Amino acid sequence: MAGGQERILKRRISSVRSTKKITRAMELIAGSRIVKAQAAVKGALPYSELITKVVADLAAGGGSINSPILKPRERVKRSAHIVIAADRGLCGAYNSSVVRAAEGSILEDEEMGAEYALI
Protein backbone atom coordinates (compact mmCIF):
# COMPACT_ATOMS: atom_id res chain seq x y z
CA MET A 1 0.00 0.00 0.00
CA ALA A 2 1.21 3.49 -0.73
CA GLY A 3 2.04 5.69 2.26
CA GLY A 4 -0.73 8.18 1.47
CA GLN A 5 -3.49 5.58 1.42
CA GLU A 6 -2.24 4.01 4.64
CA ARG A 7 -2.31 7.40 6.38
CA ILE A 8 -5.87 8.00 5.16
CA LEU A 9 -7.00 4.60 6.46
CA LYS A 10 -5.32 5.16 9.86
CA ARG A 11 -7.00 8.56 10.15
CA ARG A 12 -10.35 7.02 9.21
CA ILE A 13 -9.94 4.21 11.79
CA SER A 14 -9.04 6.78 14.43
CA SER A 15 -12.10 8.85 13.52
CA VAL A 16 -14.40 5.82 13.76
CA ARG A 17 -12.97 4.87 17.17
CA SER A 18 -13.46 8.42 18.43
CA THR A 19 -17.05 8.46 17.18
CA LYS A 20 -17.66 5.11 18.88
CA LYS A 21 -16.42 6.50 22.23
CA ILE A 22 -18.62 9.58 21.92
CA THR A 23 -21.66 7.49 20.99
CA ARG A 24 -21.09 5.18 23.96
CA ALA A 25 -20.86 8.16 26.32
CA MET A 26 -24.10 9.58 24.93
CA GLU A 27 -25.82 6.20 25.40
CA LEU A 28 -24.69 6.10 29.04
CA ILE A 29 -26.01 9.61 29.64
CA ALA A 30 -29.34 8.74 28.01
CA GLY A 31 -29.58 5.60 30.16
CA SER A 32 -28.99 7.56 33.37
CA ARG A 33 -31.65 10.09 32.36
CA ILE A 34 -34.13 7.25 31.86
CA VAL A 35 -33.34 5.87 35.32
CA LYS A 36 -34.04 9.32 36.81
CA ALA A 37 -37.30 9.61 34.88
CA GLN A 38 -38.38 6.13 36.01
CA ALA A 39 -37.65 7.11 39.62
CA ALA A 40 -39.83 10.20 39.19
CA VAL A 41 -42.66 8.07 37.78
CA LYS A 42 -42.31 5.60 40.65
CA GLY A 43 -42.50 8.51 43.11
CA ALA A 44 -45.70 9.74 41.48
CA LEU A 45 -47.35 6.31 41.59
CA PRO A 46 -49.17 6.82 44.93
CA TYR A 47 -50.69 10.05 43.60
CA SER A 48 -51.71 8.33 40.38
CA GLU A 49 -53.37 5.49 42.29
CA LEU A 50 -55.23 7.95 44.52
CA ILE A 51 -56.45 9.98 41.55
CA THR A 52 -57.64 6.78 39.87
CA LYS A 53 -59.54 5.82 43.03
CA VAL A 54 -61.12 9.29 43.31
CA VAL A 55 -62.25 9.23 39.67
CA ALA A 56 -63.67 5.71 40.12
CA ASP A 57 -65.53 6.83 43.26
CA LEU A 58 -66.92 9.86 41.44
CA ALA A 59 -67.97 7.72 38.49
CA ALA A 60 -69.64 5.17 40.77
CA GLY A 61 -71.53 7.95 42.59
CA GLY A 62 -72.78 9.69 39.44
CA GLY A 63 -76.44 8.56 39.52
CA SER A 64 -77.30 9.00 35.84
CA ILE A 65 -74.11 7.39 34.56
CA ASN A 66 -74.77 3.69 34.12
CA SER A 67 -72.05 2.35 31.88
CA PRO A 68 -70.66 -1.19 32.09
CA ILE A 69 -67.22 0.30 31.49
CA LEU A 70 -67.34 2.09 34.85
CA LYS A 71 -68.34 -0.96 36.87
CA PRO A 72 -65.54 -2.76 38.73
CA ARG A 73 -64.86 -6.30 37.56
CA GLU A 74 -64.17 -9.32 39.70
CA ARG A 75 -62.05 -10.93 37.02
CA VAL A 76 -60.50 -9.33 33.96
CA LYS A 77 -61.05 -11.54 30.90
CA ARG A 78 -59.32 -9.45 28.23
CA SER A 79 -56.96 -6.50 28.25
CA ALA A 80 -55.14 -4.41 25.67
CA HIS A 81 -51.51 -3.37 26.00
CA ILE A 82 -50.49 -0.26 24.08
CA VAL A 83 -46.71 -0.15 23.76
CA ILE A 84 -45.10 3.04 22.51
CA ALA A 85 -41.39 3.04 21.73
CA ALA A 86 -39.10 5.66 20.24
CA ASP A 87 -37.21 5.66 16.97
CA ARG A 88 -35.19 8.87 17.15
CA GLY A 89 -31.96 9.64 18.92
CA LEU A 90 -30.28 7.37 21.42
CA CYS A 91 -33.39 5.55 22.58
CA GLY A 92 -32.09 2.00 23.00
CA ALA A 93 -32.23 2.03 26.80
CA TYR A 94 -35.71 3.57 26.75
CA ASN A 95 -36.99 1.00 24.24
CA SER A 96 -35.50 -1.84 26.30
CA SER A 97 -37.26 -0.55 29.42
CA VAL A 98 -40.58 -0.21 27.59
CA VAL A 99 -40.37 -3.72 26.16
CA ARG A 100 -39.38 -5.18 29.55
CA ALA A 101 -42.35 -3.47 31.24
CA ALA A 102 -44.73 -4.66 28.52
CA GLU A 103 -43.44 -8.23 28.78
CA GLY A 104 -43.93 -8.14 32.56
CA SER A 105 -47.50 -6.92 32.21
CA ILE A 106 -48.26 -9.56 29.59
CA LEU A 107 -46.83 -12.30 31.82
CA GLU A 108 -49.16 -11.15 34.62
CA ASP A 109 -52.12 -11.48 32.25
CA GLU A 110 -50.99 -14.94 31.17
CA GLU A 111 -50.62 -16.06 34.80
CA MET A 112 -54.18 -14.91 35.53
CA GLY A 113 -55.42 -16.70 32.41
CA ALA A 114 -56.61 -13.49 30.78
CA GLU A 115 -56.57 -12.87 27.05
CA TYR A 116 -54.62 -9.88 25.81
CA ALA A 117 -54.03 -7.85 22.70
CA LEU A 118 -50.76 -6.12 21.97
CA ILE A 119 -51.03 -2.82 20.13
State the catalytic residues: 91
Q: How far does Cα 47 stand from its chain's mean position?
A: 20
User: Can you tell me the distance from the alpha carbon of 18 to that of 97, in angstroms, rounded to the nearest whole number?
Assistant: 28
How big, in percent rounded to 5, are the helix, strand and coil portions of the chain?
70, 5, 25
